[in-house]
Amino acid sequence: MREIKYHIDTEHKQDKKIILTGWAFSTQEDAKVDIQIKELEHIEMKKLIRVDVQNAYKDHKEARQSGFEIAFDMKEHLSVYHIVFSDGEVEEAYQIDIAKIKKEEKQEKMKYIKKIITSIRLNNLKKVVAYMNAHGWTATIKKIKAKLNNTSVSGITYEQWFEKVKPSKAELENQRNYQFGYKPLISIVVPTYNTPKKFLEEMVQSVVEQTYSNWELCLADGGSKEETKKLLQELANKNSKIKVNFLEENKGISENTNAALDMAQGDYIALLDHDDLLTPDALYEVVKVINVCSRPDFIYTDEDKIDENSTHLFDPHFKPDYAPDTLRSYNYITHFSVFSKEVLEKSGKFNSQCDGSQDYDIILRITEKANKVIHIPKILYHWRTHMNSVALNPESKRYAYEAAKVALANHMERVGLQGKVEDGKFLGSYKINYTIVDTPKVSIIIPNKDHKEDLEKCINSILRKSMYKNIEIIIVENNSETEEIQEYYKSLEKYSRIKVVTWEGKFNYSAINNFGAKHADGQYMILLNNDTEVINPFWIEEMLMYCQREDVGVVGAKLYYPDDTVQHGGVVIGLAGSAGHIHHGILKEEYGYFGRASVVQNLNAVTAACLMIKTSVFKEINGLDENLAVAFNDVDMCLRVRELGYLIIFNPYAELYHYESKSRGIENTPEKLERFQQEEAQLKQRWKEVFLQGDCYYNPNLSLQHADFRLKE
């Protein structure tokens, strides 16, 4: 029997629009379903691929292409709309009740407010107030929201998730009995100073309970009160693996730690704060990596936070693999850091000039010298939070951020990079303004078909806002049909820096840009969509300062929708099935997951809607792959650049608006969807090892179904 199957997944209000998502298809083979709103002449609709529907209806090939997202403006006099699905012979209708949507929205807001209020524990109230005083109410709500949203797809909390993934008692026992081929002595160094008894005892106990047994705990006390000294001595008397050096005075965090290092006899050194905790399997996991990865010089892990009462785990930081530019933006590594004694001898011990950020300084120095840096994507460290802890209250140690800038400046000098270190967009992040050498020519390549208004807005924004002047703009004309665009092209003839070249073939984004590149004279090229608009005047300099580095091949920008939500904050391989934009949809001013929407960082890919590439590198990879006519050509290009050993940079300080897909439309026809699927399959086949191993700059504990860094189910 011929019928239309459909389902409305979500109905919600966004400003003055109603957004619907769902799917619909006809059981009649090759019949196409038309979707309309009965009361409206116009709706915005995107067609989407629905693998879940395809899996549920395997006998109906139309099921795969059945997804949709519809947006329409509400009319004040209408409270009910009807969405009509038809395939020519059969028709189905669904009623959209606006009053019900508004009521549910209000209920959700009230539930969310209640959730925020109840999430603030009484013993954490002081912390919330301190954070609010330092950062304001809006930032505080965002921070609470981020914690509340850090749940898996199934809706469990982080603590429930951690209980599921942590090793069982049986697994821990197996670890204790496991015999490694190489059993290095791990020296855990801890400076202490008037540590509260409870915290000190719990820290030591977390070391004693390690399943890997070849360790020593080296404690250097900086002149604490007698009760702390007495406790330290008692702990040392109970366990011969615990060594204590009682210093005559508090020499500061760096010198106290160096005193602990002086006691260390281990092959590897592990850094632990006096009030933090290790998970019982921490050293086992580290030693496993040391054996498997040919004795790397530096290892770090994921971490979370623990409250003062040791009852609540929260705020897990699932980190990327080693990323030098991300590290220069902020100390994302922090805990748990383990390094070989050999690399420490090359790098030098802690520097008291960087007290407050002494760990950041030594991580920078060690990673400069390390033969290999390995990241273990597991929570192996609990960072204690209390009122004087930087983990909770960044304002508590402002001097630490000044010390971090000193550490970064010293790092820049050591590695031969010229530039100035400034504060970043949030406290504890940093921005490096690299010195731009000379003023090399930059060629901006813009494919265009019709869309005179969009192109004019784009060109005007470049000419009026850009401070960098040694540019040329190459518009690649592709089969435009309107007279107004031809007239606009003629009006551009007065600009010596703008030229229009004609590509007569059918639309092929890769071929068009490759053609434009042949007409480019610049040492650097910017691939730019015609539906973009420059926001900040130094957007070219922001990309150029990184692209001019010998180790960098491509630099991408941060792009926003006209409503000031993020359209592009970088690309992750595997996200949304193939490759997706992270932080998609968050507000322009939001910092993102652990600040990652707001810091310069290394990624595997960025969008070609706006990116800069060295002309020499573009030629080295033979440009964009013309077999990928529309989709994924930028991702493929970035991966080929990475394959040559170059870094890809995402720079949030280069900002543009992007009126997405105006140049070619959306994937809304069977032909376009088929082409999309073919190009997606080609990308996955070509880079199957990357897809198999996972994106190294995106933690495997995070969901690939969502762009907001939530936990994987």
pLDDT for 393: 53
Which residue, chain included where needed, has tokens 């010089």? 297
**Strand 313-317, strand 298-306: pairing:** antiparallel
| Top-confidence residue, 76 or 22 | 22
Strand 242-246, strand 268-271: pairing: unpaired
> What's the average model confidence in pLDDT over 260-289?
97
* CA–CA separation, 199 and 228 (whole Å): 11
In the chain, which segments carry CATH 3.90.550.10?
A: 185-391, 442-693
pLDDT digits (tens, 9 = 90+) for 96-148: 888 888 777 666 656 555 555 554 554 455 556 665 665 565 556 555 555 55
Residue 123 pLDDT: 47
- Match 């069982």 to its residue by tokens: 168
Per the model's pLDDT, the better-predicted residue between 90 and 256 turns out to be: 256
Q: Is the pLDDT confidence value at 157 over 80?
A: yes
Instruction: Write down the pLDDT at residue 122.
Output: 47
What confidence tens digit (pLDDT) does each residue in 177-223 have? Answer: 999 999 999 999 999 999 999 999 999 999 999 999 999 999 999 99
Give the whole-angstrom CA distance, residue 251 versus residue 257: 9
Give 390's DSSP letter.
T
Instruction: Work out the end-to-end distance of the chain between its first and last CA atoms, rounded to an integer number of angstroms.
Output: 38
> Could you give the dihedral angle defined by the CA atoms of residues 163, 164, 166 and 167, in that order, rounded to the nearest 10 degrees?
120
What φ, ψ does residue 566 adopt, rounded to 5°? -75, 130
Does CATH place domain 4-100 in 2.60.40.10? yes
Residue 173 makes CB contacts below 8 A (sequence gap 6+) with: none
More confident residue, 42 or 424: 424
Surface-to-core class of residue 438, CB atoms within 10 Å of its CB (0-12 exposed, 13-18 middle, 19+ buried): exposed
The per-residue pLDDT for 151 is 47
The more confidently predicted of residues 676 and 55 is 676
What tens digit of pLDDT does each residue of 50-102 get? 767 777 787 888 888 888 888 888 887 788 899 999 988 888 999 988 888 87
Please, what is the average pLDDT of the chain?
Answer: 90
User: How far apart are the C-alpha atoms of 327 and 429, rounded to whole Å?
Assistant: 10
| Confidence at 663, pLDDT banded by 50, 70, 90 | very low
Residue with tokens 């389902």: 7
Which two tokens mark 230? 């007495």
Give the integer Cα–Cα distance in Å for 140 and 149: 14
Give strand pairing partners of 383: 305
Residues with Cβ within 8 Å of residue 73, at least 6 apart in sequence: 16, 17
**% of residues, the chain, pLDDT over 70:** 89
Mean pLDDT in residue range 624-630:
95
Cα dihedral across residues 162, 166, 168, 173: positive or negative: negative
Question: Tell me, what's the pLDDT at 591?
Answer: 93
The answer to whether 203 and 190 are in contact (CB under 8 A) is yes
Indicate if the alpha-carbon torsion angle 416, 650, 329, 384 is positive or negative: negative
Contact 219, 248 (CB under 8 A): no
User: Given this model, what pLDDT does residue 387 score?
Assistant: 52
Q: Is CATH 3.30.70.141 the right assignment for the domain spanning 442-693?
A: no
pLDDT at 144: 59
**CATH 2.60.40.10 in the chain, residue ranges:** 4-100
Confidence grade of residue 578 (pLDDT, cut at 50, 70, 90): very high
Q: Does 185-391 carry CATH code 3.90.550.10?
A: yes
- In the chain, the percentage of residues whose pLDDT exceeds 90 is 71
Which of 243, 271, 249 lies closest to 358, judged by CA?
271
pLDDT in the model for residue 672: 77
pLDDT of 557-576, one tens digit each? 999 999 899 999 999 999 98
Average pLDDT over residues 644-672: 79
pLDDT digits (tens, 9 = 90+) for 697-710: 999 999 998 899 99
Q: What is the pLDDT of residue 153?
A: 44
**From the centroid of its chain, how far is CA 473?**
31
Beta strands 442-448; 471-477: pairing state: parallel
